[in-house]
Structure 1
């Protein structure tokens, strides 16, 4: 299944509601989307998330249902290491 990086921008600083994670994961399961992890900017106004999903449309559907913004979605194939080696995500 393909991997995607999602950029989210927030108008205000967000607090991470840990209690919301199970509901978000349930919505993702229903859309066949898997949230792997996220990075949060120091000012809490931007996040970058790695997802596994069948399509960009599935990611957008899950985000809409969860009330999460999406500013950009990019399909990625791997990690480029400091050695220059490309490590596939699959």
Structure 2
């Protein structure tokens, strides 16, 4: 299944506490359950003003629907074409 990186502009998100992040996670998971097993949240990276999420889904359109239904921005959605790491250089 295709994998995507979603960039979410969320000023100040890095300052949220554990309970606020838990609430956002719960909202995301609730919408994912409603959308069905075709879309999967892998994990996210929280920085000062953005969240970068890794999702698996058949299309960017389904990721956009998740963002709308959950009330989260999805400022950029890019399909992953390859994964590299230090072992790629070997």
TM over 0.5: yes
Q: 2:44 aligns with which of 33, 38, 41?
A: 38
Determine which structure has the larger strand proportion and give its number: 1
- Unmatched segments (≥5 aa) in structure 1: 86-90
Find runs of 4+ consecutive structure 1 residues off by over 3 angstroms: none
- Between Structure 1 and Structure 2, how many residues are aligned? 82
Where relative contact order (Cα < 8 A, 6+ residues apart) is larger, the structure is: 2
What does 1:1-90 align with in structure 2 at a 5 Å threshold?
1-10=1-10, 12-14=11-13, 15=16, 16-31=20-35, 32-41=38-47, 43=48, 45-84=49-88
Whole-angstrom CA distance in 1 between matches of 2:88 and 2:24: 38
